[in-house]
Amino acid sequence: MDGVPIIDISGLRDGSGTAAVASEIDAACRDIGFFSIVGHGVPAELCRRLDEQARAFFDLPEDEKASIAMRHGGRAWRGWFPVGGELTSGTPDLKEGLYFGLELDPSDPRVVAGTPLHGPNQFPARPAGLRDAVLEYIDAVTAVGQIVLRGIALGLDLDDQWFDQNLTADPLVLFRIFHYPPPPSGADGWGVGEHTDYGLITLLAQDTAGGLEVHGRGGWVAVPPDPEALVVNIGDMLERMTGGAYRSTPHRVRNTSGAERLSFPLFLDPNWDAEVLPVPKLVDMGTAHDPSDRWDGESVLAWSGSYGDYLLTKVGKVFPTLLDEVIDDAL
């Protein structure tokens, strides 16, 4: 593929074109590991409201945003971090952000047990509408992600409910809002360096600023911004499950538009305790790419353990100080 394909998933949502959509998704997963989806059904009004509320938050004074800093979220790993507060490959990112996830009551058994990355969210006093917009958006996009996983299952010659039955009946869902300010004079504009995502799939909404780039087989490819589409990419666990036939593709963000940029990635991942094994009945998937060419030089095929174990080793590199403060004893 010369670029990131655009796939209308309405036929998968209503059953009118399940096989055709699944075939398109399968082809994209084998090749570039990225595709944009339209016909997803997430209300445009909800996306607009979320965008407005997020911009209002990031416009607040820094000391007010810090009232929900991630260090206050404990093991739930939720809240705000400032520009430069997140690392990619050891380099500070030129972005600030908000971390959210499924809203869990403090009495939830996982919260009581101190399971990392599970718990209640932190929401600011202002803007007052951010909480409702975030929680509605998480529900809507998680449902879309489950539909996309049905298409992926069919492309792998599995029952369309395979992921729900084995990995995502109780998924780990993490949601981020990232704000990329215009880069300082003389800076190269790299908001996020080269990396891959950790789980099954990521569903990303972005504004019109652009800057997302994907490392395809022929080199780096820009993903044109389309506020009406969701960009879907494959994570490390799907690469592992398919023996490298599906690509967990490196990507990066370079903000050269001269304007601020907002992005809204939702990560739909396996259950925390799930052991992620190769998919059954793995038929002719074509030539798998060489896992040794990964950006980090590590092979997800050689790793073993629960998804929670894998995730902790990764997020600990992103926020090493916070890891020491709140969840180091979980490793």
Q: Is residue 187 part of a domain?
A: yes
Average pLDDT of the chain?
90
Q: Is residue 182 part of a domain?
A: yes
Query: Whole-angstrom Cα distance, residue 295 to residue 291?
Result: 10
Residue 134 belongs to domain with CATH number:
2.60.120.330
Q: Is residue 170 part of a domain?
A: yes
Average pLDDT of the residues in 212-220? 91
What is the band of 259 on the pLDDT scale with cuts at 50, 70, 90? confident
Helices (H) and strands (E) counted in the chain, each on its own, are 10, 14
Q: Is residue 1 part of a domain?
A: no
pLDDT value at residue 280: 81
* 91 or 73, greater pLDDT: 73
Q: Is residue 161 part of a domain?
A: yes
Q: Is residue 259 part of a domain?
A: yes
Q: Each residue of 278-326: pLDDT tens digit?
A: 888 665 444 455 554 565 667 788 788 899 999 988 887 888 876 776 6
Average pLDDT of the residues in 233-251? 92
pLDDT value at residue 108: 93
Looking at the 3D structure of the chain, how many domains does it have? 1
Structural domain including 211 reads 6-330
Counting Cα atoms < 13 Å in the Cβ hemisphere of 155 gives: 24
pLDDT value at residue 285: 47
Q: Is residue 153 part of a domain?
A: yes
Phi, psi at 87, each rounded to 5°: -110, 145
Query: Whole-angstrom Cα distance, residue 331 to residue 320?
Result: 13
Place of tokens 């908000």: 98
Q: Is residue 291 part of a domain?
A: yes
CB 123 within 8 A of CB 68: yes
What is the band of 1 on the pLDDT scale with cuts at 50, 70, 90? low
pLDDT value at residue 223: 95
**Hey, what amino acid is at 197?**
D
**How far is residue 271 CA from its own chain's centroid?**
15
pLDDT value at residue 84: 87
